[in-house]
């Protein structure tokens, strides 16, 4: 009987102790914050121009316009000494200082002469590269865009322009 009383007393003490520990609580606090940064923006400063192009014979070719305003020709295309206006497209990007961003370039754009003749510009390139833009300490950077123009065999003479402006998109990383 003594053993039973001792066992009942021990269980009561343990049960009482467990209730005592279960009633203890602890808490901590935290602060919440948010920072609103300047939205990233892009605006065109210069249109793209492949300049004067001559087509020799019945062979198609290309004009590759670099981001540094240089160009090269392939196939049946030649570049006359009087090159005309040759410029890569140029954009001003603004936003939060020292932030990085990505650039999304179009896949292609069609140029036409308003007389049912067309050429396609594609293989767009950018400087900085599409994954490497970083805004400076003032939150600014210039982006230059080049492309490759596909010129058809015996392409008709005329002034070719895009009916729809091509779009360059920037997003913060």
Q: What number is the average pLDDT over the span 72-98?
A: 95
E-assigned strands of 15-168?
41-46, 49-50, 54-55, 61-65, 71-75, 77-78, 86-87, 89-94, 100-104, 108-112, 118-127, 133-134, 140-151, 161-162
What per-residue confidence (pLDDT) applies to 15? 55
Angle at 64 between CA 125 and CA 92, to 5 degrees: 40
The model's pTM: 0.81
- Predicted confidence (pLDDT) per residue in 4-47, tens digit: 555 455 565 555 554 555 668 999 999 999 999 999 999 999 99
Q: Rounded distance, CA 87 to CA 48, Å?
A: 5
Higher pLDDT, 12 or 126: 126
Show me where the domains of the chain are located.
Answer: 41-172
Taking all residues of the chain, what is their mean pLDDT, rounded to a whole number? 90
Q: What number is the average pLDDT over the span 94-115?
A: 96
CB-side neighbour CA atoms (13 Å) of 142: 8
Q: What number is the average pLDDT over the span 141-147?
A: 98
CATH class of segment(s) 41-172:
mainly beta
What per-residue confidence (pLDDT) applies to 21? 55
């Amino acid at each position: 009987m003594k053993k039973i009383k001792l066992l009942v007393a021990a269980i009561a003490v343990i049960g009482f102790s467990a209730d005592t520990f279960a009633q203890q609580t602890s808490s901590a606090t935290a602060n919440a914050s948010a920072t609103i940064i300047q939205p990233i923006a892009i605006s065109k400063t210069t249109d793209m121009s492949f300049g004067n192009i001559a087509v020799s014979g019945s062979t198609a070719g290309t004009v590759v316009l670099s981001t540094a305003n240089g160009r090269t020709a392939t196939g049946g295309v030649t570049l006359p000494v009087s090159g005309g206006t040759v410029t890569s497209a140029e954009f001003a990007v603004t936003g939060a200082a020292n932030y990085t961003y990505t650039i999304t370039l179009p896949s292609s754009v069609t140029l036409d002469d308003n007389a049912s003749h067309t050429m396609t510009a594609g293989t767009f390139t950018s400087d900085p590269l599409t994954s490497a833009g970083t805004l400076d300490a003032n939150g600014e950077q210039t982006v230059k865009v080049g492309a490759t123009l596909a010129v058809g065999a015996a392409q008709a003479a005329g002034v070719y322009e895009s009916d729809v402006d091509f779009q360059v998109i920037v997003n913060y990383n």
